[in-house]
Amino acid sequence: MGETIKLIGEIFLLIGSFSLMTAAVGLLRMPDVYNRVQTGTKASTLGALMSFVGLAMMSFDHWQETNWVGRFLVLVIFILLTNPVSSHVLMRAAYAMKIPLSKLTSVDKLKEDINNKVLEEPKDE
């Protein structure tokens, strides 16, 4: 039983590492900062999440003596709550600094609404 859980944990860890690698490749390949943040956030969130779940499973044998399982669960919750927020801030700051969108971009409703005075321009604070 313990060995099986450990094996599943190792597979989770492998998937997590692969996901983190995808994030790195995405940072290199994507055409502009918005797409880079986008791929980076998603892949790194699931990558970190999978790694922690895998590590929690690998330490499951000794769950009565050590409290790694609970600590990893707390880490997972914090990553799920905070990772998207920090990326929102990065993305919004990039837009406020007027970093250009890539040529592939087909539509920009935010620009239209700023031009139509529906909302104020985001300030670079």
Partner 1 sequence: MKFKNIFVAFLVILLGWMLLTWSLELQSILLGVGISAVLSLLLCGSCTLFNEINLTPKAFAYSFWYLIVFLIELVKANIDVTRRVLSPSMPINPGIVKVETTLKSKMARLILANSITLTPGTFTIEINDDALYVHWIDVESDDVEGATKAIVSKFEKLLEVMYG
Binding footprint of partner 1 on the chain (CB under 8 A):
19, 22, 25-26, 29-32, 34-35, 37-39, 41-43, 45-46, 49, 63, 67, 69-71, 73-74, 80-81, 84-85, 87-88, 91-92, 95, 101-102, 104-111, 113, 118-119, 122
1 vs 85, beta carbon nearer partner 1: 85
User: Rounded to the nearest whole angstrom, what is the least distance from the CB of residue 2 to partner 1 in the complex?
Assistant: 18
Cα-based angle 63, 67, 72 (whole degrees, multiple of 5): 105
7 vs 88, beta carbon nearer partner 1: 88
Give the number of other Cβ atoms within 10 Å of residue 67's Cβ. Answer: 11
> In 3D, which of 86, 5, 88 has the Cα closest to residue 53?
5
- Give the 3-state secondary structure of residue 99: coil
Q: Which structure tokens are listed for 90?
A: 């990065």
User: Rounded to the nearest whole angstrom, what is the least distance from the CB of residue 14 to partner 1 in the complex?
Assistant: 14
Task: Please tell me the distance from the alpha carbon of residue 81 to that of residue 76, in angstroms, as a whole number.
Answer: 9
User: Rounded to the nearest whole angstrom, what is the least distance from the CB of residue 108 to partner 1 in the complex?
Assistant: 5
